[in-house]
Amino acid sequence: MEEEGKKGKKPGIVSPFKRVFLKGEKSRDKKAQEKVAERRPLHTVVLSLPERVEPDRLLSDYIEKEVKYLGQLTSIPGYLNPSSRTEILHFIDNAKRAHQLPGHLTQEHDAVISLSAYNVKLAWRDGEDTILRVPIHDIAAVSYVRDDASHLVVLKTDDSSTKVDMKEPYETDASTFSFPECGPHTKTASESELSATAAELLQDYMLTLRTKLSSQEIQQFAALLHEYRDGASVHEFCINLRRLYGDGRKFLLLGLRPFIPEKDSQHFENFLETIGVKDGRGIITDSFGRCRRAASSTSTSNGNRAAGSSDDQSAPSEGDEWDRMISDISNDIEALGCSMDQDSG
């Protein structure tokens, strides 16, 4: 009986440190519960595989999904393959080790992603301050990677987001993530910078041509590009390419932006708009095309000024260097078509 009485007795002394600690924990838990309870319900639809969201809903409405915001990375190398699980995870792991991305996600990283046919918006779950808003036509590639319990959605985007000098970031359920696409900045580009840019454009565009065009179509594209470089009008070039690509592949025209000289760029952009490509509605582009040739326009103007001076008349301008590289790219594309034709023969 005495033993039972001793067991039933409560300790007479409780550590004041323990009392304060427990009180603080309860207070934090209570505040966290109140914060979660204040969250509004999301504007979404319930899906069960293999169902999907009807396109009409995304045209006239939008849906929301609760995600976790992982972060953003800039200066993404052009050779990074957005469809390679290994490359993406390796890049993210390196960023975490460099403390560019958080190693662990908490409630503070909770966010809401809003999707429509026109843009992707990301906002904080609490307070709903907008983190970013990306037009669909600024998304170059979308990747999904599952890593254990994490579901990573990776967006590779253009550098012309609606937030000033901001690249896109995010994270779904376990992690949504965006890779902003690196592009030439509006400043004078050196020859080495132009070479690197041209090489990246060539690599990305050739990869797309291999997957989207037959060998005969690649040769036709090379011939049209050659005619355009030899003096054919940009209007004729656009019309012929539109006929070559057809409705199903007209988004490929976006990838031609780096090949268009500055003097023809406005006509080219107007043509994209007339065929319904410029605003990107309902169009998912490949990973090649979003580097705008801002560097080349600046370098061309700088080169023209240099040509007028007595000191630099003999030196080729950087604009001429860019034109030479584009000519090399055209030749390589034509050679690619010939090699594919031989392989299929």
Q: Which residue has the tokens 């060539």?
A: 202
Residues 6 or more apart whose Cβ sits within 8 Å of residue 46 = none
**Which amino acid is present at 35?**
K
Residue 276 amino acid letter: G
What's the sign of the alpha-carbon dihedral 276, 278, 279, 285?
A: positive
The mean pLDDT of 60-64, rounded to a whole number, is: 86
Report pLDDT digits (tens) over 253-291: 877 776 777 888 888 888 888 887 754 333 333 333 333
Q: Is the pLDDT of residue 176 over 50?
A: no
**pLDDT tens, 303-318?**
444 444 444 444 455 4
d(CA 107, CA 92): 20
Considering all CA atoms of the chain, what is the largest pairwise distance in Å, rounded to the nearest integer?
111
Q: What is the pLDDT of residue 239?
A: 92
CATH numbers and ranges of domains, the chain: 55-180 (2.30.29.30), 191-344 (1.20.1160.20)
The predicted pLDDT at position 240 comes to 92
Of 11 and 96, which is predicted with more confidence? 96
Q: What is the pLDDT of residues 26-38, one digit of tens each?
A: 555 565 566 556 7
pLDDT digits (tens, 9 = 90+) for 42-58: 888 777 666 677 777 88
pLDDT class of 13 with cuts at 50, 70, 90:
low
C-alpha torsion sign, points 155, 158, 161, 166: positive
- Provide the residue type at 340 as one letter: M
